[in-house]
A = this chain, B = another copy of it.
Amino acid sequence: MKSTMQSPPLLISDLLRYGTTVHAKSTVTTWTPDGGRTTTYGEIGQQAAQLAHALRKLGIDGDQRVATFMWNNAEHLVTYLAVPSMGAVLHALNIRLFPEQLIYTARHGGSEIAIVDNTLAEPFAKLVEHLPGIRHVIVNGEVSDEVREALGAPEHVEQVHDFADLIAGEPTEFEWPRDLDENDASSMCYTSGTTGNPKGVAYSHRSNYTHATGCALTLQLTPADQTLVVVPLFHANAWGFPYVAMVSGNSLVMPDRFLQPEPLAQMIEQLGVTSGSGVPTIWNGLLQHLDANGGDMSTCRMLMVGGSAAPPSLMKAFQERYDIEIIHGWGMTETSPVASLAFAPPQAEVGSEEYWRYRASQGRIIAGVEARLIGPDGEEQPRDGEAVGEVEVRGPWITASYYSNGSEPQGELDDMAAKFDDGWLRTGDVGAMTDDGYIILTDRSKDVIKSGGEWISSVDLENQIMSHPAIAEASVVGVPDDKWGERPLATVVVKEGEQVTMEELRDFLADKIAKWQIPERWAVIDEVPKTSVGKFDKKVLRQRYADGDLEVETAG
């Protein structure tokens, strides 16, 4: 029996229209050297219309790709909304990738137009000669004649435009097409390249729409919120924040290039930030700044953290010292990216051990996402908080494949296809699940340490070591061991002005970790090597160990 209901496509233009009319008074504030500059959502809607008109004139009349090379700012938000809404495909380039990765992903995506921040125009000028598909470069903000020339130098670049000039005078309304297929691509994104080369996915209008509403109902932001979006718009779909904001009407604070603890603390204080999102290193930096210099965080209620495991010590410090809930989220580029958020269930008493178990977990799956655990033998594992397996997910905002432009060798296509299991995405993340839908990651499948037939979680060890007051950072990797096959090597960064011996650290772990899991091998390092997006780069640590580049102390 057919229903009688309307079934219009779920489109990003619906979110744009809603957010910029109903929530026209909400604002996006972009940080500048002189403080914040504020644009209302009403104005964002008008500029999105203007940009769409301008892009039509530059030949964007279908599903061509438009790239951005921008920080988090108002113009990037305008682009995030306008490009998909007009039926084209947004590709926000990850400015942090290593040059070869960046060129690879940008060419693979195949954009015709690039919108570039003036402060990023110089590096982009070096890039654009490798991107023969780019016909137009639009620069947001003023640049010197020299830079402008460099941008326009490659033959394939027809013209270099100024963002403000280009859209000025265009009509402030646009008839967003309603005849798009909701399953058509709205935007594309590449993984961080932590475990290999970046892989691309193409989000759809429907996936972004359902992701935005699913996140919005879980995050419960309101028009009274000022949300500081530190997570870059060029990484992992900006965790959905641009689209969530259109739905929830929360105002946004965009840090642009000012990502250091001091300006972030200023934004929170001066703009009355209530909520935010960023990776653990960002909030860790902020915490250390606050502890050293003080600061009024009283407006701030909740900061979302994800991208890699957030140490519980970080969460507790914020909660106890600043009354800020650090909400752990988990996901990946392939999952739009938010799949779970770690709000504690009401039966767990705030502050109790049970409570912190929930809060430290990677979170409860969001309504819409289904998850299961597959053990090493391919069998589904029970959700008892103990049994460990690879997490597999499916749902309306989970990818069904990687994006192929037809240029990939068969071997790569096979590798990509291997990540899918009968309609489920193999996440490559390993851990347990509780019966009430919380995911507790212990590792990436590539980072699990297999010691004498048993698994040791590198993340567990790192969290425990990082809870020692003298330790700033710790990263644990598996290294070959004659007797056990593999054993953990702990690399630690000691806080400035602190001192600690490896023996002390071992003793510190004694009542926290099973004896057989405590590392014998320790190395003090200056800094944990990070990937381009700031994740612990364990490939590098394993390599350094193999090359004998680490000063390893052995104990126990």
Contact = CB atoms under 8 A, between A and B. Distances in A.
Interface stretch (A319-327, A392-400, A530-538): A392-400
A405 to B, nearest CB: 10
A206 B21 contact: no
Given A14-B368, A24-B435, A367-B18, A185 B396 contact: no
A362 interface: no
Nearest to A217: B217
Interface string A98-141: 00000000000000000000000000000000000000000000
Interface stretch (A4-12, A287-295, A373-381, A482-490): A4-12
A546 interface: no
Given A22-B436, A213-B367, A5 B220 contact: no
A246, A345, A365, most chain B CB atoms within 10 A: A345
A399 B5 contact: yes
Nearest to A3: B204
B435 A7 contact: no
Contacts of A24: 435-436
A346 interface: yes
Given A22-B436, A25-B345, A217-B248, A183 B395 contact: no
A214 interface: yes
A6, A15, A203, A204, most chain B CB atoms within 10 A: A6
B5 A183 contact: yes
A6 B217 contact: no
A17 interface: yes
A396 B8 contact: yes
A224 interface: yes
A397 to B, nearest CB: 7
A397 B3 CA distance: 11
A545 interface: no
A186 interface: yes
Nearest to A213: B213
A203 B3 contact: yes
A43 interface: no
A23 B434 CA distance: 12
Contacts of A203: 3, 5
B224 A4 contact: no
Contacts of A3: 183-186, 202-204, 206-207
Interface residues of A, number: 66
A435 B24 CA distance: 9
A216 B401 CA distance: 30
A89, A217, A398, most chain B CB atoms within 10 A: A217
Interface in A1-48: 1-8, 10, 14-15, 17-18, 21-25
A394 B224 CA distance: 27
Contact of A394 (B6, B63, B394): B6
A7 to B, nearest CB: 5
A394 B206 CA distance: 18
A174 interface: no
B400 A184 contact: no
Interface string A321-359: 000000000000000100000010111000000000000
A21, A24, A63, most chain B CB atoms within 10 A: A21
A6 B18 CA distance: 25
Contacts of A214: 213
Contact of A400 (B6, B204, B364, B401): B6
Given A10-B396, A220-B220, A365-B22, A403 B248 contact: no
A360 interface: no
Contact of A4 (B15, B201, B222): B201
Nearest to A246: B367
A428 interface: no
B184 A1 contact: yes
A47 B381 CA distance: 24
Nearest to A369: B18
A246 B437 CA distance: 14
A258 interface: no
Nearest to A183: B7
A185 B1 CA distance: 6
A22 B3 CA distance: 29
A59 interface: no
Contacts of A402: 4
Nearest to A216: B217
A248, A370, A436, most chain B CB atoms within 10 A: A436
14 contacts: A3-B204, A4-B202, A4-B400, A5-B206, A5-B336, A6-B207, A6-B396, A6-B399, A6-B400, A7-B400, A24-B436, A213-B214, A216-B367, A217-B247
Given A6-B396, A217-B248, 12 more contacts: A5-B396, A5-B398, A6-B395, A7-B183, A8-B395, A15-B367, A21-B436, A22-B436, A24-B435, A25-B345, A213-B367, A213-B368
